[in-house]
Amino acid sequence: MSYVLALVDNMFFQARIQAVAKQIGVEVKIVPTGEDMVAAARENAPSLVIIDLNAKSGALETVRKLKELETVPTILGYLSHTQTDLAAEAATAGCTQVMPQGKFTQELPMVLARARGKVERKIS
């Protein structure tokens, strides 16, 4: 089973991510802080990291720390479509992809399916 880490404060989005992941067959671990995310990623390299760029736990600093890991995961950050400055900062910090929250919600099944495929290809 594929492994995805998520730093998401909003309980609605946590539940949505977990429900879609279960349907697709991807394990998602929701972490409460950026420090927990970096520690979990060090321990077991995820195929994907999802970060709410408005998380209270220092989202951009978390991205920077993830980029320093030996095995750097794909990092997807999402935010409000009006936060263009934050989107640019996230890309500079090292997000592989930054998308508006609405697009993230819409594309979540495809995003998680790609994460699942990434791990399966590595295993075979």
Q: Residue 124 pLDDT > 50, yes or no? A: no
Q: What is the distance between the alpha carbons of residues 95 and 89, in angstroms, rounded to a whole number?
A: 9
Q: Which residue has 């500079």 as its token pair? A: 92
Q: What is the pLDDT of residues 10-27, one digit of tens each?
A: 999 999 999 999 999 999
Q: What is the pLDDT of residues 61-115, one digit of tens each?
A: 999 999 999 989 999 999 998 989 999 999 999 999 999 999 999 999 999 999 8
Q: Residue 123 pLDDT > 90, yes or no? A: no
User: Which has more confidence, 124 or 29?
Assistant: 29
Q: Tokens standing for 60?
A: 């951009």
Domains for the chain: give ranges and CATH numbers.
2-123 (3.40.50.2300)
Task: Catalogue the E-assigned strands of the chain.
Answer: 2-7, 26-30, 48-52, 74-79, 97-100
Residue 18 class from Cβ within 10 Å (0-12 exposed, 13-18 middle, 19+ buried)? middle
